């Protein structure tokens, strides 16, 4: 095994269990992990160096109300709130043009799904983009200036031009329920509800199909290590894959229901968020 469990930290409980969508902020030797605590209507914040819970950013009903909240990362000051589509379920960030794209699953979920393009300099909505189905994970590609977003049904990936905010094309995914998504060395790694990790060329050609241990959620990856990590809530595991010559490296236990993970690239640590025990579990990756 290369992933070793090295720590865990408890989190104050909310009205209901549940975590979703985690990401990290790094500056110098410091890093903080952020995770949506959906059962507590807040964002939980952790110190990665000490693997400890710090505090919460409160006031986010369901962490999925019809708005995009923008914070200044250096001091966590709320600088803007922008109305977007109903039930935003993911965000992609165009670092070049300073635009954010929310992916909105509609109300009821699956009805009237949209992507909302927001200019972060002015907090203005630039476009509302109709989607062909319920969106999942989304990513921005700085090389092409494109946003890629998984659509669960019909199973496909939409490609949005961040300059025009138009869908340029769709890529068929030959596996039900695309969920987690990463763009690695020009290839799309798509984890699907059918229990597969599909490796695709951007033109839609399938390079590889790798079996998963269950229905996946988010994926995280590290360029230096050439590894991608797939979170699977049931059974509670994370599976690690090599991305250079795609293959399964290992499967580690987390906790039943733990479908959210975050990655600290500075420390090469994987964070798993456990809803039953209401805490974060930290794993150290070795070479």
Q: What are the pLDDT digits (tens) for 88-97?
A: 999 999 999 9
For the ranges 18-32, 51-65, 253-267, the lowest mean pLDDT is seen at: 51-65
Residue 61 sits at φ, ψ, to 5 deg, of -55, 115
Mean pLDDT along residues 255-278 = 96
Q: What is the mean pLDDT of the chain?
A: 95
Examine the pLDDT at 238 and tell me if it is beyond 90: yes
How many residues are recorded in the chain? Answer: 287
Q: What are the pLDDT digits (tens) for 109-120?
A: 999 999 999 999
Q: Superfamily for 59-257?
A: YVTN repeat-like/Quinoprotein amine dehydrogenase (2.130.10.10)
* Alpha-carbon dihedral 142, 165, 113, 174, rounded to 10 degrees: -50
- Report which DSSP code applies to 134: -
Examine the pLDDT at 152 and tell me if it is beyond 70: yes
Residue % of the chain over a pLDDT of 90: 92
DSSP labels, 82-122: EE-SSSEEEEEEETTTTEEEEEE-TTTTTSS-EEEEEETTT
- What distance in Å separates the CA atoms of residue 242 and residue 240, rounded to the nearest whole number? 7
Contact 200, 210 (CB under 8 A): no
List CB contacts of 199: < 8 A, sequence separation 6 or more. 187, 188, 189, 190, 206, 207, 208, 209, 210, 246
List CB contacts of 245: < 8 A, sequence separation 6 or more. none
Examine the pLDDT at 62 and tell me if it is beyond 80: no
Mean pLDDT along residues 189-218 = 97
Mean pLDDT along residues 9-15 = 94
Contact 57, 76 (CB under 8 A): yes
Mean pLDDT along residues 46-55 = 96
Tokens 């269950």: give the residue: 214
């Amino acid at each position: 095994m290369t992933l070793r469990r090295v720590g865990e930290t408890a989190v104050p409980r909310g009205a209901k269990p549940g975590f979703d969508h985690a990401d990290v902020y790094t500056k110098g030797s410091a890093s903080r992990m952020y995770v949506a605590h959906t059962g507590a209507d807040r964002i939980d914040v952790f110190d990665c160096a000490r693997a400890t819970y710090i505090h919460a950013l409160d006031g986010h009903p369901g962490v999925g109300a019809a708005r995009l909240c923008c914070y200044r990362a250096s001091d966590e000051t709320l600088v803007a709130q922008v109305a977007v589509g109903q039930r935003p379920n993911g965000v992609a960030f165009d670092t070049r043009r300073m635009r954010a794209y929310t992916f909105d699953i509609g109300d009821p979920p699956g009805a009237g799904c949209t992507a909302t393009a927001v200019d972060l300099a002015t907090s203005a909505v630039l476009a509302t983009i109709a989607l062909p189905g319920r969106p999942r994970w989304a990513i921005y590609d700085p090389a092409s200036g494109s946003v890629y977003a998984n659509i669960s049904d019909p199973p496909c990936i939409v490609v949005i031009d961040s300059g025009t905010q138009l869908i340029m094309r769709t890529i068929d995914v030959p596996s039900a329920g695309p969920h987690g998504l990463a763009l690695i060395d020009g290839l799309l790694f798509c984890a699907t509800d059918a229990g597969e990790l599909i490796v695709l060329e951007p033109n839609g050609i399938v390079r590889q199909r790798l079996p998963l241990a269950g229905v996946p959620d988010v994926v995280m990856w590290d360029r230096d290590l050439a590894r991608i990590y797939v979170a699977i809530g049931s059974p509670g595991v994370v599976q690690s894959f090599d991305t250079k010559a795609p293959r399964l490296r290992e499967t580690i236990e987390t906790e039943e229901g733990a479908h959210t993970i975050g990655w600290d690239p500075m420390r090469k640590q994987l964070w798993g968020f456990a809803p039953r025990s209401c805490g974060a579990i930290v794993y150290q990756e070795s070479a």
